[in-house]
Amino acid sequence: MSELLQSPLFVLPLNVCAFLLGVAIYRRSGTALLHPIVGAGFLVAAVLWSLDISYSDYRNASGLLYALLGPAVVALAVPLKQNLAIIRRAGWPLAVTLAVGALLAPVVAIAIAFLFGAAEPVLLALSGKSITTPIALALAEKIHAAQSLTAGIVVFTGVVGAVFGPPLLERLNIRDHRIIGFALGINAHAVGTARSLEFSALCGAFAALAMGLCGALTALVLPLLVDALN
């Protein structure tokens, strides 16, 4: 029985059912606090805890979904292509924003964690907090960070950014979908991009651009920094 619970025959339907239920709850409630990833995540976590299924077993059984993460991210290039002319006109402001945002997002988190006495594994995992999961997991393996902790931090960052980012930007009187999308793409990666697509294709395009470039920049720079510090 335990082998069945740790196999794709159980875990994959669990993921699908939890997500569909999360979507239904989200649409019925109409609040970003119950985003499908939040609801589905809690449901899956509750089942795993109640059945005593470890994260490593869960991840191994969810291999198909992890393999689909890459194509799902690439598919976000569709709204990017549709709005390419608008993106080109904002090239330099986007480049400056990307450089500053990609640097500050992990540095601030690592600095706060360091001041509170976080151990090195936590600091390494935090370094990938603002990049999408496929890139973050690949980087975690390269810099010898815990993949389970990295995945948890990435998802938590994305959910918090997607839930609280739009209301914060609205309170700051920022309603330009280009700015909203780019901010969510840098700070909340794939979850923020999915949230951006709820506003408009233009918002989603800028979020996808920010997410992709931020991930690429971090993938190039982070291993060099870690090697230099070691």
Q: What is the pLDDT of residues 205-227, one digit of tens each?
A: 888 888 878 877 877 777 777 66
Q: The whole model's pTM is what? A: 0.74
Q: What is the pLDDT of residues 114-172, one digit of tens each?
A: 888 878 878 888 877 777 777 787 777 777 777 778 878 888 888 888 888 888 888 88
Nearest to 210 by CA among 183, 177, 191: 183
* Residue with the two structure tokens 């709820």: 198
- Residue 97 reports pLDDT greater than 60: yes
Torsion of CA 56, 57, 61, 64, to 10 degrees: 0
C-alpha count within 13 angstroms, C-beta hemisphere, residue 57: 16
Domain map (residue ranges) of the chain? 1-61, 66-229
Residues 6+ apart with CB under 8 A from 151: 59, 133, 136, 137
* Degrees to nearest 5, angle at CA 82 with 95 and 163: 65
Euclidean distance between CA atoms 96 and 144, whole angstroms: 30
